A and B are shown apart, each in its own frame.
Chain A
Amino acid sequence: MDDLAFDAPRIQERPLVLDELLVPARDDCGALAIFAGTVRNHHDGKPVTHLIYTAHVRLADKMIRAIEQEIGMRHGVPLCRVVHRIGRLAIGEVAIYAVVRAPHRAEAFAALRAAVDAVKHRVPIWKEEFYADGTSAFVTGCCIAEPEAAAHGDAHHSHSH
């Protein structure tokens, strides 16, 4: 996959702009699949007021670009783009956009889901939730350490995030 048309930072501090991920159009693709992850106002029954996302920006940017390439090749889709927001996000704001263009919808949906899952499970981004009662917590995530370092492998834990 060769997507030289999109060189935006994959980790951005400003509000994400979907239109930037949609140009140029692709005449060879009949499917455009888009996922937006937005900030929810509750977690485990607790009211959430806002989030702060942080990232290892250099590594996260590099890993998202690698995931786009990997998903493109594995699913045979010509275009896969993901951007993730960091900083303070209000309820309803977009934290992640993923976009896939493909000739047909089946591979577009499959690639889109795989891209979002890969970014959530592998890219060094952290989510700190702030609750209505004034407390805060980092959301439990996926371990990306080498397998021998951690008893907790990312294939076996439950996903609430």
Chain B
Amino acid sequence: MQIAVHCYGATRLHTGSDTLMLSLPEPATVADALAALASRSEAFAALLKQCAVAIGDELVRRTHPLKPGDELALLPPVAGG
């Protein structure tokens, strides 16, 4: 399946773009998507471990099953204020 990944904060420094498309074998979970992304570099893999993931305006767990066309947001450690 194809999903979109939106990169927030420092994650876009590792992907070079705000959004990227990912192809995953079905069935797939959020953890599978993160594992596929982690293969890009060790530094990105380390940051992904600290990322929360959202779909729409909901935080989702690593075990959350993905559907084709899902749009994941990668949320690295936050620093508002």
Q: Spell out A's residues near B (CB within 8 Å).
A: 37, 53-56, 58-60, 62, 84, 95-96, 116, 119-127, 138-146, 148-152, 154, 161
Asked whether B8 is an interface residue with its Cβ less than 8 Å from the other chain, the reply is yes
Q: How far is the CA of A122 from the CA of B79 in the complex (A)?
A: 9
Residue from A120, A150, A152 in contact with B79 in the complex, judged by beta carbons closer than 8 Å:
A120
Q: Which residue of A lies closest to B6 (CB)?
A: A56
> What is the bound-complex CA distance between A144 and B73, given in angstroms?
13
Chain B binding site: helix, strand, loop or mixed by DSSP? loop
A83 to chain B, nearest CB (A): 11
CB-CB under 8 A for A56 and B79, given A126-B8, A150-B49: no
Contact (Cβ within 8 A) A58 B57: yes
Q: Would you call B61 an interface residue if the criterion is a C-beta within 8 Å of the partner chain's C-beta atoms?
A: yes
Q: Determine the chain A residues whose CB is within 8 A of the CB of B52 once the complex forms.
A: 124, 143-146, 149
Knowing A58-B57, A144-B52, A146-B52 are in contact, say whether A122-B81 is a contact too (CB < 8 A).
no
Instruction: Say yes or no: B78 contacts A126, CB within 8 Å.
Output: yes
With a cutoff of 8 Å between Cβ atoms, the chain A residues found around residue B13 in the complex are 138
With A124-B8, A151-B49 as given contacts, are A56 and B76 in contact (CB-CB < 8 Å)?
Answer: no
B8, B50, B78, B79 pick with most chain A CB within 10 angstroms: B78
Q: Is the CB of B75 within 8 A of A150?
A: no
Contact of A150 among B8, B50, B58 (CB under 8 A): B50
23 A/B residue pairs, CB under 8 Å, sorted by A: A56-B73, A59-B75, A62-B57, A84-B81, A96-B81, A120-B80, A121-B78, A124-B54, A124-B73, A126-B8, A126-B76, A126-B80, A127-B80, A138-B9, A138-B76, A141-B76, A144-B52, A145-B51, A145-B75, A146-B61, A150-B49, A154-B77, A161-B79
**How near does chain A come to B58, taking the closest CB pair, in angstroms?**
8
Query: Are the C-beta atoms of A122 and B49 separated by less than 8 Å?
Result: no
- A141:B62 contact, CB within 8 angstroms: no
A124 touches B75 (CB 8 A): yes
Q: Please, which residue of chain B has its CB at the minimum distance from the CB of A122? A: B78
User: Which residue in B50, B62, B78, B81 is a CB contact (below 8 Å) of A116?
Assistant: B81
Q: How far is the CA of A143 from the CA of B53 in the complex (A)?
A: 11
